[in-house]
Amino acid sequence: MDSSKRIPGIWWLSDKPENHIAGDLLIEDRMLELNGSFEEMKSRTFGGSFGVISVHQDKTIQGIAKKGGKKYTLEYFDEPSSITISMPGYRADTYMLGNIFEGDHFEKTGDLSFERYYIEFPYLFEWVGGSVINSQMTLLESNRIGNTTITVNNPMTVDVFKNDDFKLSFVITPRGVKIGGEVKEMRLSQDCTIKIESIKSNLSLQDAGSIIAHFERFLTIAVGRSLELIKYQASSGKGKDSSTVNITLRSRREKRITSIHLHNMNFTFADIKDDGQTIFEKWFSDRDKYADVFNLLSSIRSDTGKNLNNQFKDVVSAIDGYYGIEIGTFSSNRVDEAIKHFNEQLPNKNKLLSTKERKQIRITRNKLSHVTIKPEEEKFVLDNEGMWFNFQKMLFLLEYVLLKSLGTSEDTLGKFYTKRKNWN
């Protein structure tokens, strides 16, 4: 899907297919600009109005692209977000969109389910490792390179995890291969996709989204960078009876992807491959138990521009929440104890946060949360630099303890510790 251009087409409401309106779909801007209106003309003056509250689930906007004839299904908000009048009796509507489905028409999207989902993240191929393209060069006696043989193999599937509901695997696929005919220039590449397959019955779009989001959290910890989906597909059926849709999520944001060498990642799939089933079984089984903690982790790791004060409060709340679940009790003034518990999970005696630092963190969090602190405690409130360094330490502790709870090997934990100690 080329999201950088307008997609002209014909559009209609799913329950009123007889009312076709020409218009342009702007995927990047998440808008459908109609050259007309789905609504009946009314004898009143239309002005700008913005009353969108929720995505409409009872019906959808359907359409067919002018070029290529691709089918689209669009989730839309209950009312047009803006109305422009160009002449008396004429109305042009613009709809803000939710999820966008390319490849099929659906009456409703709230109860969609599919057999398989394919997801691609930045850095996934490098993190997973492996290759389906091999090259071999011959060296001549004059130390010149002779013939080069390139072998392109079939796609390779790497099994990762399986439970009663779904199976997760990595699929490495070659790109740019030309079959038959003369080849003057060939640009070969390969990519890696996460494949999620339903076991018993189709996985709902909502359940698949939860699985994807939780795997993204793990991958973010491993790679050390926040991630955004760059490919999301769903399919059902086999052979000629199969159908595939490309999905653009309402939360999708364009992000510039910078390169990263695998040696700069916290750890790679090779480090956990032998224990993958055990690690991911615990990772997914803990998803509901620590739901609030994981949601805070996602918020901290996202590129939403959250300020330092909120990030600091979030990571303290995540540590405190995790500890509260572990010991079975909650307290509004137990931050020192929670951070101390996390400190003690490290293998060495040089703990990251001293008694004084734990006190500073608690008092600063209370100050930021508008909890009254004593006058003599004001001197313990951290400045921005102190907050940043302690935030980094606490985020490391949180991720370290999460990895340790999965049964991650000491070697991998040691590698993670070495790569993440950026506060030194």
Strand pairing partners for 12?
62
CA 220 – CA 298 distance, rounded (Å): 9
Q: What pLDDT digit, counting tens, does each position of 120-144 carry?
A: 999 999 999 988 777 777 777 667 7
What are the sequence ranges of the domains in the chain?
7-102, 113-268, 286-420
Q: What pLDDT digit, counting tens, does each position of 313-329 carry?
A: 999 999 999 999 998 87
Q: Both tokens of residue 45?
A: 């003056």
Q: What pLDDT digit, counting tens, does each position of 17-65 carry?
A: 898 999 999 988 889 999 988 875 443 333 333 333 356 667 899 999 9
Beta strands 243-248 and 231-236 are antiparallel
Residue, of 363 and 334, whose pLDDT is higher: 363
Backbone angles phi, psi at 350, to 5 degrees: -85, 85
- Model confidence at 404: pLDDT above 90: yes
Structural contact between residues 390 and 382, judged by C-beta atoms closer than 8 angstroms? yes
Residue, of 208 and 175, whose pLDDT is higher: 208
Beta-carbon contacts of 227 under 8 Å, excluding residues fewer than 6 positions away, are 121, 122, 123, 216, 219, 220
- Model confidence at 385: pLDDT above 70: yes
Sign of CA dihedral 378, 379, 380, 384: positive
CA 367 – CA 381 distance, rounded (Å): 8
Q: Both tokens of residue 143?
A: 């130390």
